[in-house]
Amino acid sequence: MKKIPGYDDYSITKDGRVWSHISNMWLKPVRDRGGYLYVHLCKKGGPHTRKIHRLVLETYVGPCPDGMECCHNNGICTDNRLENLRWDTHSNNAYDSVKHGTWADNRGEKHGRAKLNEFPLSYIKS
């Protein structure tokens, strides 16, 4: 377990569990709409919402290099073990999401704002 850079009152394990030295307990992560886990960390400026996968990489590997983002090697966004994370480009992260089947293909009638689907479109064309 290592202290989180910039948050001296918190530590994180290599598997993504966050310990609060203030309350002497493990923080319970919350899941966002995309399925990623995050925690609220406090420091003098107030509370900060931080994604756990980024905290693991920032703590054990170092700050995010320019033009890079955090990637999950196996495509499971709740698997925040250090060996499952890496810094990589957005392009490679998008490629991984297609490879893992987690890419949201919401083009055409799958898009949330689509007004037509295959049935009315074929009716209109005829």
Per residue in 33-64, pLDDT (tens digit) is: 989 999 999 998 899 999 999 999 999 999 99
* pLDDT of 4 above 80: yes
The single residue listed with the structure tokens 């493990």 is 26
Measured CA to CA, the distance from residue 50 to residue 15 in angstroms comes to: 16
Q: Which fold has domain 2-125?
A: Homing Intron 3 (I-Ppo) Encoded Endonuclease; Chain A (3.90.75)
Nearest-angstrom CA–CA distance, 13 and 18: 7
Q: Where are the alpha helices (H) located in the chain, listed in sequence order?
A: 52-60, 90-100, 118-125
| Domain ranges within the chain, ordered by starting residue | 2-125
Q: Which residues lie across from 3 on neighbouring strands?
A: 11
14 — phi, psi (to 5°)? -70, -15
Q: What is the pLDDT of residue 120?
A: 61
| Per-residue model confidence (pLDDT) at position 101 | 75
Model pLDDT for residues 73-122, shown as the tens digit of each residue: 999 999 999 999 999 999 998 888 888 777 666 666 666 676 666 666 56
